[in-house]
Amino acid sequence: MTEPPPPLDTLDLELIQALQFDGRAPFRRIGAVLGVSDQTVARRYRRLRDTAGLRIVGALDESRLGRTTWILRLGCTPDTAGQLATALARRPDTAYVDLLAGGTEVMCAMRPRSRREQDELLLGQLRRTPRVLSVAAHCLLHMFYGGPLGRLDKIQALTADQQEALRRAPAPADPGPVVLDALDEALLAPLRRDGRTPLGELRAATGQSESAVGRRLERLRASGVLYFEAQHRLASLGQGVGAMLWLRVAPSALADVGRALAAQREVRFAAAITGPADLVAAVGCADTEAFYRYLSGTVGALPGVRTVETALTLRTVKQLTWEPGG
């Protein structure tokens, strides 16, 4: 029987939140803010990679690229769900592929790069896949929490002064669509695997000098199109039960309910979508009893919520990026 990982202490939590603020911050800078040595930060980071699945990954804000995000719910036969989830995870245009409890539904975020790719996937490829029984595609209309808005987490481990010391200048509110060129794509490829990839390795990947790579990297970050996310296993933060919520909400209450969800500690992602449900949210709770209390008390008390459909997450197959065996 596998031993549970050791509980995270105060410094672990501070380090995770520091990396949410700036995933590429030098360990020396993080150590200065946290009051420890850079060697201590490096040791903790390596340990958390093993015990909590901590990874820093580069991600794109698709809205800055003028792209649409789709939330897909795929019904399939039980013997197909795992294979389908893995196949979707291997695709570069998917994120957050989950196998839902019951083993007959796969959910993922899909980010097609073009209208042609979108139509081929939604209207053709998935519907022709053997043993896929149903395809429900929900267009993401507005993000309340998650993506670049979810970088700071909700663990509240850092003081206000520590947060300010780590905070980067905000991206422009609405700079218009960003266009990526071939060198941008070459730079982004290793960052999707490891957001802390050193400049020397980025130079080798792009064929550019380190100074040119540094300028390009800073331009992408300053535009808001590139951000870095500190990913970790939910159980490491005491959230052993993950679930998806599909909420039907009175139109006049949509914005208020969305903002209320975004502020709740349990919510990792919340967005307005098209389809029968008006809002979708991903949540994490300590156990099923805590999930019941959250659902019946916190969510149930929100004015304007008409119905809530729930589905427990059996297994997360992909978070932004995928590794074999992950």
Q: Is 201 inside a domain boundary?
A: no
Return the ∠ at Cα 115 (arms to 109 and 119), rounded to 5°: 75
What distance in Å separates the CA atoms of residue 195 and residue 64, rounded to the nearest whole number?
19
Band of residue 84 on the pLDDT scale cut at 50, 70, 90? confident
- Location of structure tokens 């794109």: 60
Q: Is 312 inside a domain boundary?
A: yes
The residues, any chain, with a CB within 8 Å of residue 118's CB and separated by 6 or more, are 68, 70, 112
What distance in Å separates the CA atoms of residue 11 and residue 35, rounded to the nearest whole number?
10
Q: Is 299 inside a domain boundary?
A: yes
Quick one: average pLDDT of 188-197?
94
Q: Worst-scoring range by mean pLDDT, 8-12, 63-67, 115-119, 212-216?
A: 115-119
pTM recorded for the entire structure: 0.85
- Please tell me what DSSP assigns to residue 321: B
Which alpha helices (H) appear in the chain, and where do they start and end?
Answer: 10-21, 27-34, 38-51, 78-90, 115-119, 126-128, 160-166, 182-193, 199-206, 210-223, 254-263, 288-293
Task: Give me the amino acid identity at 143.
Answer: M
Domain encompassing residue 304 = 239-316
CB-based contact 195:56 (threshold 8 Å):
yes
CATH code, domain carrying 282? 3.30.70.920
Q: Is 274 inside a domain boundary?
A: yes
Q: Is 303 inside a domain boundary?
A: yes
- Return the pLDDT at 173: 64
Q: Is 295 inside a domain boundary?
A: yes
Pick from 96, 74, 186: nearest CA to 147: 96
Q: Is 151 inside a domain boundary?
A: no
Domains held by the chain: number: 1
Band of residue 175 on the pLDDT scale cut at 50, 70, 90? low
